[in-house]
Structure 1
Amino acid sequence: MSWHNAQDPMPGDKRSCDALELVIVPRARDLGGFSVRRALPSAQRRMVGPFIFLDQMGPAHFAPDTGIDVRPHPHIGLATVTYLFDGEIMHRDSLGSAQPIKPGALNWMTAGRGISHSERTPPELRARGAALSGIQAWVALPEDKEETEPAFEHFGAHLLPSIIGEGKAIRIIAGSMFGASSPVKTASPLFYADVAMEAGSSFPLDPDEERALYIASGTVEIAGESFGEGNLLVFRPGDRITVKAVEDARFMALGGAPMEKPRFIWWNFVSSSKERIEQAKEDWKSGRFALVPGDDEFIPLPDFGG
């Protein structure tokens, strides 16, 4: 999905949990019947492991003949990770991929040296109106893989391992957890999971190098403190943390090894080099990115600074 202007997330109170480094509170932006909360990047925390961008899309319900229309736009130096709770999005890219994504499935697009793509509500859903809710993340690529060939992979929900029991359902989107591993091949060590919990259940978060939870719905408790929907909780490395569900809750668990050096981000471009981002700007402005077959529109280069 393309970067859009949004208010910066606000820092929250740290609370009393010793393992909790930061609470980031995204502010919702209405994009015309469709709200987005951006948790990363923020002024307080640019990345968690390789995760450099995290948006919650919706929940929304579109009236008939409406939907999302993210016109073709470019990316470099990252992988986009699209995961839905509800609804459907049609992905098309400059490699010729045309893939609808549905709840519980995964679209993993590696931009590498450059790719363009669009994301739209499919015509049949647009005609009757449909719900949409989900998360899009961007994962920065290691410096030695930033210029890799672009690629796209889709994994149906049945291909992502699920662990169900003791009042919770965990779908492992990427990486490994509780002895199960996702089939997704990542460019650097990371983990990413969708965790749905019934009230009263608990979830252990292991002491990875960098780790966080994004609460999509409900309320959880950690070390006696409660945290609700729309909070990104960033934890220090250290002891295992126990997350308890105060009520039915759903969150994304994410993290991994930090990048070897800081990343620059401008619009939809991520790189370890400012010069490479300037080149990408000129390439998109001059029409040197490959186009998306079957989708003739595009988003012009924005005029905001960076």
Structure 2
Amino acid sequence: MIEMVIEQRRRDLGGGFEVGRVLPIAKQRMVGPFIFFDHMGPLDLAPGIDQSLDVRAHPHIGLATVTYLFSGEVMHRDSLGYEQAIRPQEVNWMTAGSGITHSERFERARMQGDHLHGIQAWVALPTELEEIAPSFSHRSGSELPKWNEDGVNGQLIAGSAYGLTAGVETYSPLFYAHLDMMPGATAEIPSGHRERAIYIASGAVELDGTRYERGRMLVLGANASSVRALERAAVMVLGGEPVGERFLYWNFVSSSKDRLAQAASDWKAGRMKLPDADDAEFIPLPDEPKPPAPAMS
């Protein structure tokens, strides 16, 4: 029922802001179209935190980012002119396509302190849509499909599952949901997709007779159909259809190594527009980046 267990690895994004990196790893580059999965926090941020913790303006191509918070607030600004605070149980879906830049800043925390906890994922776009025009979509919590059954409070973030369809536009078959599970509750895991996984953001669950705790992603086989909470748990369920080989280079995703090299050159040369409100502050291209790594789904 479980094909692989992936444990998060701690990564410092700068200024002491750490995340738990889950995808990709060498043996599991993707789950369906999901090519990147970071667990942010839980982290207490004191009033007056230094701006070095902010994620300064940086570029993307060939993917969509989806940010989802359990607690806290992050201010998003992008090169299309959008400025949007994201709060718990809301969704920011940013389609990079041919190229976009954005920043993520902890402005509320700087003013009054905050408790940050959430997930950021990247979804690789289908080959024929990798160069689609960039766009941004925000959905408030009231706009997301919800259900409550037998100790499970569910919220569909993107795609289709549990007989529901989320409003954000996606570009390939996928599902992504948050399950808030009470102790002893059992939840269905959506079927009908070639690749699926669950991620335990908090608490502990049981699957196939084994206990799994927070910080682990379980890549599922075809027969996995349900998960049971051993204590209150926040569980992300995700999956979809593979989109084919992808190369990942810094913040860029593409089916073409040449396209990645062009994106890196464009960023280094200042040819990608920055968010207007960011005062030309940005993350430079790494001095010695690693070669593009293939990501197979």
TM-score class, shorter: over 0.9
Does 1:138 pair with 2:122? yes
Task: Find the counterpart in structure 2 of residue 241 from structure 1.
Answer: 225
CA contact (8 A) 1:222 1:241 kept: no
Q: State the Cα distance separating 1:33 from its structure 2 match.
A: 5.0
CA contact (8 A) 2:43 2:116 kept: yes
Does 1:100 pair with 2:85? yes
Partner Cα separation in structure 2 for residue 215 and residue 292 of structure 1 = 34
Partner Cα separation in structure 2 for residue 125 and residue 39 of structure 1 = 25
Q: Summarize the alignment of residues 85-164 of structure 1 with structure 2, pairs less than 5 Å apart.
A: 85-122=70-107, 124-164=108-148
Does 1:287 pair with 2:261? no
Give the AA of the match of 1:292. P
Determine helix, strand or coil for the equivalent of 1:276: helix
C-alpha change, 1:39 and 1:102, in structure 2 (3 Å) is same
Q: Which runs of 5+ in 1 are unaligned?
A: 1-18
Please list the CA deviations of residues 88-116 of structure 1 after superposition, one character each: whole Å capped at 9, or x if unmatched: 00000000000000000000000000000
Q: How many residues align?
A: 285
Q: State the Cα distance separating 1:57 from its structure 2 match.
A: 0.2
Task: Find the counterpart in structure 2 of residue 3 from structure 1.
Answer: none
Q: State the Cα distance separating 1:63 from its structure 2 match.
A: 1.1
Does 1:258 pair with 2:248? no
CA contact (8 A) 1:29 1:37 kept: yes
Partner Cα separation in structure 2 for residue 167 and residue 32 of structure 1 = 39
Q: Summarize the alignment of residues 162-201 of structure 1 with structure 2, pairs less than 5 Å apart.
A: 162-201=146-185
Partner Cα separation in structure 2 for residue 288 and residue 32 of structure 1 = 26
Identity %: 54
Alpha-carbon RMSD across the aligned residues, in angstroms, is 1.2
Give the AA of the match of 1:73. H
Partner Cα separation in structure 2 for residue 147 and residue 226 of structure 1 = 42
Q: Which runs of 5+ in 2 are unaligned?
A: 292-297
Determine helix, strand or coil for the equivalent of 1:278: helix
Partner Cα separation in structure 2 for residue 189 and residue 126 of structure 1 = 39
CA contact (8 A) 2:76 2:83 kept: yes
CA contact (8 A) 2:2 2:224 kept: no
Q: Summarize the alignment of residues 190-229 of structure 1 with structure 2, pairs less than 5 Å apart.
A: 190-207=174-191, 208-229=193-214
Task: Find the counterpart in structure 1 of residue 7 from structure 2.
Answer: 25
Partner Cα separation in structure 2 for residue 251 and residue 174 of structure 1 = 15
Partner Cα separation in structure 2 for residue 200 and residue 61 of structure 1 = 29
